[in-house]
Amino acid sequence: MACKVKSKEATRIDEEIYAHFADIVEHRSFRDAISNAAKQLSKGSIMEKRVYASSFSLPMKRNVFGLYTIEVALNHRRCRFLLDSGAQISGIRAYKAKELALPKTDGSLTVGSIGGTKKELFGCMVESLHLGGIEYLQRALVVLSDKDFALRFAGMDMLGFDGILGWDILSQLDFELDDIAKRFKVIDNHWKLPNPNMLLGGFPCLIMQYEDQSYGLFGFDSGSKHSWFGEAAMRKHCRLEARQKVLGMGVHGLEKLDMSIAKSCRLYLDKASLELKHIMSGPVQIFPNFVFDGVLGNEIFAGRRIRFINSRCMVLLA
């Protein structure tokens, strides 16, 4: 599995194409997924957001799985959270919730993983979550099982994070993931960006162009190093090579996955040409009313910068 990215002239999504895909995903199960999940978890608790600095930058590190983490503060205690755009709701590992004595919420969520496994997750309430210049008060988090998230070597925790920062928080920010300077940046957007290429909802949803000039819908999961395709899109746009079992990291921890492998596929996003090689298949019906062609992992901006301008429904990559 590999991804080569080259700069090119910008791929513009015209209004007709954008309207076509907006109509496909226009369903409450996608559009309202995050707000509905938050209501289920917190059962009426009122969350407050305070902005002390509208733009800021935090150091970004990679763990042994090639996933990005940043430092946050829970109840004024330092913690390390995984940047996971593929998680609808932010969460905390059970041992850390116990260490901080976080009270339980009255609600719960049934959450699916990359492997299609569904589990009921319960919640806890944090009085204060500091993310750089932003503070969230009375924030509900899902509690991640210590059994599912257990990878130790010589007594050391190899995962390297205490919780996950999900799309519920990230989707409300204009931000940049900078793998050159190794920084996570929340930014003030001053550009008009007239040709959006992203649809907002319960998952980052990008309109991508194939090499044959057709278009497809792709998710983006920063909590996965590698990208994957759905079986249907793989058969249509790629040449299948083999099937094999691989180990994947999802919201329920490590899972063994049975996947098809395809030789290669070329995609275009903004000013980037992406050549994906030895692509694996995976689940793409994350919401009941439509399917993605595939889901892109953080390999697409390795050694580069990617910007999510959520206020303008635009992803910038060059």
pLDDT tens figures, 211-231: 999 999 999 999 999 999 999
Tell me, what's the pLDDT at 304? 97
Confidence category of residue 124, pLDDT binned at 50, 70, 90: very high
Dist CA 113 CA 279 (whole Å):
19
- pLDDT above 80 for 119: no
Domains and CATH numbers, the chain: 2-13+197-317 (2.40.70.10), 33-186 (2.40.70.10)
From first CA to last CA, the distance across the chain in angstroms is 21
Tell me, what's the pLDDT at 121? 85
Tell me, what's the pLDDT at 194? 86
Average pLDDT, the chain: 88
- pLDDT above 60 for 4: yes
- pLDDT above 90 for 65: no
Provide mean pLDDT across the span 138-146: 91
- The helix/strand/coil state of 123 is strand
Provide mean pLDDT across the span 103-109: 88
Confidence category of residue 318, pLDDT binned at 50, 70, 90: confident
Dist CA 43 CA 105 (whole Å):
8
- The helix/strand/coil state of 9 is coil
More confidently predicted of 239 and 94:
94
Tens of pLDDT, residues 263-298: 999 999 999 999 999 999 988 988 877 899 999 999
Provide mean pLDDT across the span 246-266: 70
Provide mean pLDDT across the span 27-54: 83
Buried b / exposed e across 10-37, counting CB within 10 Å, b at 16+? ebebeeeebeebbeebeeeebbebbeeb
- pLDDT above 70 for 116: no
Tens of pLDDT, residues 149-176: 555 444 445 578 999 999 999 999 999 9
State both tokens at 205. Answer: 């949803």
User: pTM for the complete prediction?
Assistant: 0.90
Tell me, what's the pLDDT at 152? 47
Dist CA 108 CA 164 (whole Å):
17
Tell me, what's the pLDDT at 250? 53
Tell me, what's the pLDDT at 244? 67
- pLDDT above 90 for 100: yes
Q: Could you give the percent of the chain with pLDDT greater than 90? A: 66
Confidence category of residue 30, pLDDT binned at 50, 70, 90: confident
Element (H, E) at 191: none
Q: Could you give the percent of the chain with pLDDT greater than 70? A: 88
Confidence category of residue 14, pLDDT binned at 50, 70, 90: very high
- pLDDT above 60 for 204: yes
Tell me, what's the pLDDT at 120? 82
186 vs 51, 66, 85, CA distance in Å?
12, 21, 15
